[in-house]
Structure 1
Amino acid sequence: MSKLIQVNGFAIFSPVHLSPGLWRHPDDRSLDFSTLDYWTDVAKILEAGKFDSIFIADGIGIHDVYAGTADAALNTGAQIPKLDPMLLVSAMAHVTEHLGLGVTAPVSYEPPFTLARRFSTLDHLSKGRIAWNIVTGYSNTASRAVGRDSIMAHDPRYDLADEFLDAVYALWEGSWDDEAVVVDPIRGVIADPSRIRKVHHHGAHFKIDAIHLVHPSLQRTPFLFQAGASNRGKDFAARHAEAVFLGEHSKAPTAANVAETRARARAFGRDGRDIRFYALLTVIVGETHAEAEAKYRDYQRYIDPKGSLALLSGWTGIDLSRYSLDDPFPTVKKDNAVTSMIDSFSRSERPWTIREIIEHNGIGGRGPVIVGSPTEVADQLQAWVAETDIDGFNLSYAVTPGGYQDFAELVVPELQRRGVYKTGYAKGTLREKIFGPGQARLPSSHPAARFRHHAAVEPQREPTSA
């Protein structure tokens, strides 16, 4: 039996995500990004389409590598303005019952204590549906914004992230026992101090001597996403992640990353099947192939090359204004960069020119774009799952929220007809919806478990067939 395909809506709290210029399309609502109505509409569309979650990208840097300034990014709205998604997801939780709510937050710019408090709060408000996309950051502008001279080197950023995770695990998993909350109005007692303890973390980067301010939420630790595809990033994902987001443009490197990360997870004492993998993808679908192709050609007229260059330069750390568009894409590694993006284009069978990458990335980013009828799209989605061992997709868009609505109304019914897409949500927390009933919290094979006060009684997660 084929496994069920899982889908997350991929978004950003900004007028431009991965399709620069498409905000100008008459069917696009990106300019409503700073209104709650827009985001609650998106959430309801995703839940109606039985999406697993909304996955919101974020970062506190600005893309200022192209031509040495932020002008191109500001001029084209290339992920600027960019609002704080932490303040957004409770509204989406309020209008949905099942949709997971994934928020990107870096480990490089604030103490573990304050971030742990916010995620615990959101897990309570969402009734156990919050997810954290863990990132280390890569931008010098972000570092300077918080008073540092430059970004930390790539691999040491992951060393810091490992320590950050240990610190928040101690807060989420070890500070409060489940029985600590008493709420006895007769005795006038809310919590039992004997079941609550201070966290004492004294590490190379962080120091904590405090009780976690929030009582245990349904998941305790939020569902953990990660997108590390560098060598050091794969180790981090293999140790910590429950889901990995991959951004390759073809199947072969996607399959290789999945297999390698699953193997590394086993080396850390985890079941490689305890990690779900989602590939970046954009779908442009119509009732017929001709209708979908007409949409795609229409969308292409709105692509903004300048915005694409601003994004590509920011992500790679390479100032592409110094090159001709027909030059081969430069593959020099920059420490303050998304190194996996450079790798994904440099290891192709033929060299890509900068112009080709702009055209490829202009709609939906560096992942593939699938154009076709519902049957054609479903065929390709199933082929991706079968040939790469991924579990599903982070679905980007050309126009929003229409891209999500088209997928929900046209592709989802076809996948359901084939028996490869859920027809209803499972009960419970986000972790239970992904891994099964009774698995609201991380299994004892996960490194977070060693921070539990009663770790010996935590059950193992049952192996899955997915």
Structure 2
Amino acid sequence: MTRQIILNAFDMTSAMHNSHGLWKHKESRRHREYTDPAYWAELARLLEKGKFDAVFFAEVLGVYDTYRQSGSPSIRDGLQVPAIDASYVVPFMASVTEHLSFAITVSTTYEQPFTNARKFSSLDHLTDGRIAWNVVTSYLPNAARNFGLSDMVRHDKRYTIADEFLEASYKLWEGSWEDNAVVEDSDNKTLVDPEKVHQINHQGTFFNVAGPHLSAPSPQRTPVLYQAGTSDKGRAFAAKHAECIFVGGPTPEKIREYIDDIREQARRIGRNPDHLKFFSFLNVVVAPTTEEAEQKFAEYDQLWSVDSAKAQFSGASGHDLAFYESLDQDLPFDFKKTEHAHYKQATVDRNRDKKPTIREVLSRFEHIDRETCIVGNPKEVADGIQKQFEASGVDGFNLNHLVSPGDLQAFVDLVVPELQARGLYKTEYKKGTLREKIFEHTDADLPEDHPGYAYKVTKKDLKLKGETVR
């Protein structure tokens, strides 16, 4: 059977996402309507019509203020600000759909396991098992200051914190409530059997959580776990915890290299590599004809904001591009590691044999990156997607959209039928929760090879702990 593409719409509940300056386009609606529930309901219906598996909501906890040592360049063009909390949008979207799922981004660096577990259990209940958590560790200096820190937590330490955060979360989701704790026994005046609800008593280096979890088990118990990370620490974390992994890279070959590495790391720690799905980013500009698509791309490029693009790269990578702007030289770009995210540095290092020069790096922000954007008619775009899908070995894509919701509408109307005709994309949804839809698991729970499964409460476990077992 032909492998089929898993597709997420990559979005953010903000005025703009990664469409630098394109709020000025005459068809842009998101910057005016992102606070309107009707906008998100309309988008949800469109994505379900297009058989999208999920909408993936990115998140930031501060402004990008590394470029020129100021937040002004990013704020001026609405770079992921102003923004609202995506978790409040999901119920609106879920109420008008049956199959579309939702991935919410939450940071393990600044949140607490107890409240986060309750949030995701609530969303999993309210969506009937259509929720995922994109686990991030956060990298913006302004975010650290917003949570009372003078400096960011160091990159590798953030992953150490995240590892314990997941451990405490598994205990809450998997180990606090037994499946049949809610008994609704009117004869004995008992709604919930207290002997089947357990404290977790987690005492760790970074978190102390007594429990019990306040939510009864949701359809998936643990939400589907998404994660993105190309650093050594990030890939190790993904191999241990993640089910869906976003892998960025300058070429399909580099993406495949990351995938092979993570799968092998997962295999070595006892996980089934087939229980991991991999995604990369997809940028598309499509129209009925090649000429119309090229014209559309040219219109977008005319509105592109260079400052906003540089502000995002600077904030994510830790390299203030304003420093390099004054160096009109062909010297190799300085790729020293920072405590920010590491994935952005890889996006400008596309030639394995030669480091890009300062001039080359700066030039890549002057226009929309044509090298990473598929432009054309439906057949040409489908050809490009199929080529990336097969060459990289990914299981699916996070689809970016430059003008919203118009570009998503064009993708659903023009590209989806072409992919379906090739057998590369589903024509109907599978039934069940998100985990059941995208994996071959027999039920909605974590598979037995996942580390979270080890925390699942059983009668045997309770006897070993000395608890009373009925």
TM-score range, shorter chain: over 0.9
Change in CA separation of 1:397 and 1:175 when aligned onto 2, cut-off 3 Å: same
Aligned to 1:430: 434
**How far apart, CA to CA, are the structure 2 residues paired with 1:83 and 1:318?**
27
Choose which of 425, 442, 461 in structure 2 pairs with 1:421.
425
- Helix, strand or coil at the partner of 1:199: coil
Alignment of 1:163-312 (within 5 A): 163-312=164-313
One-letter identity of the residue aligned with 1:430: L
CA contact (8 A) 1:13 1:33 kept: yes
Aligned to 2:19: 19
* Gaps in structure 1 of 5+ consecutive residues: 458-466
Note if 1:54 corresponds to 2:65: no
CA contact (8 A) 2:250 2:350 kept: no
**How far apart, CA to CA, are the structure 2 residues paired with 1:147 and 1:262?**
37
Aligned to 2:99: 98
Aligned to 1:460: none
Note if 1:332 corresponds to 2:339: no
Aligned to 1:123: 124
Note if 1:6 corresponds to 2:6: yes
Aligned to 2:444: 440
CA contact (8 A) 1:378 1:415 kept: yes
**How far apart, CA to CA, are the structure 1 residues paired with 2:171 and 2:317?**
34
**How far apart, CA to CA, are the structure 1 residues paired with 2:47 and 2:369?**
20
1:277-320: CA deviation from partner (whole Å, max 9, x where unpaired) = 11101111111212211111111111011111111111111111
Identity %: 41
Q: What TM-score do you get using the length of structure 2 for normalisation?
A: 0.93
**How far apart, CA to CA, are the structure 2 residues paired with 1:141 and 1:20?**
20
1:405-451: CA deviation from partner (whole Å, max 9, x where unpaired) = 11111111011111111111110100001013623111010000111
**How far apart, CA to CA, are the structure 2 residues paired with 1:143 and 1:6?**
34
The more displaced of 249-258 and 439-448 is 249-258
Change in CA separation of 1:305 and 1:6 when aligned onto 2, cut-off 3 Å: same
Aligned to 2:373: 369
1:19-52: CA deviation from partner (whole Å, max 9, x where unpaired) = 1111110111121112111111111111110000
- Helix, strand or coil at the partner of 2:233: helix
Displacement of 1:9 in angstroms is 0.1
CA contact (8 A) 1:134 1:226 kept: yes
CA contact (8 A) 1:331 1:342 kept: no
1:375-429: CA deviation from partner (whole Å, max 9, x where unpaired) = 1111121111211110111000110111111111111101111111111111010
Change in CA separation of 1:86 and 1:408 when aligned onto 2, cut-off 3 Å: same
1:192-211: CA deviation from partner (whole Å, max 9, x where unpaired) = 11111001111110001110
One-letter identity of the residue aligned with 1:395: L
**How far apart, CA to CA, are the structure 2 residues paired with 1:50 and 1:88?**
20
CA contact (8 A) 1:62 1:80 kept: yes
Note if 1:354 corresponds to 2:358: no
- Helix, strand or coil at the partner of 2:220: coil
Displacement of 1:184 in angstroms is 2.5
**How far apart, CA to CA, are the structure 2 residues paired with 1:340 and 1:260?**
16
Note if 1:30 corresponds to 2:19: no
Note if 1:344 corresponds to 2:339: no
One-letter identity of the residue aligned with 1:20: H
**Equivalent residue pairs, number:** 454
Displacement of 1:252 in angstroms is 1.6
Note if 1:402 corresponds to 2:403: no
**How far apart, CA to CA, are the structure 1 residues paired with 2:363 and 2:430?**
42
Q: What TM-score do you get using the length of structure 1 for normalisation?
A: 0.94
* Gaps in structure 2 of 5+ consecutive residues: 462-470
Displacement of 1:84 in angstroms is 1.2
- Helix, strand or coil at the partner of 1:393: strand
One-letter identity of the residue aligned with 2:13: F
Greater Rg, structure 1 or structure 2?
A: 2
- Helix, strand or coil at the partner of 2:282: strand
Aligned to 1:464: none
Aligned to 1:379: 383
- Helix, strand or coil at the partner of 1:210: coil
Aligned to 2:465: none
Please, what is the CA RMSD of the aligned residues?
1.8
CA contact (8 A) 2:249 2:346 kept: no
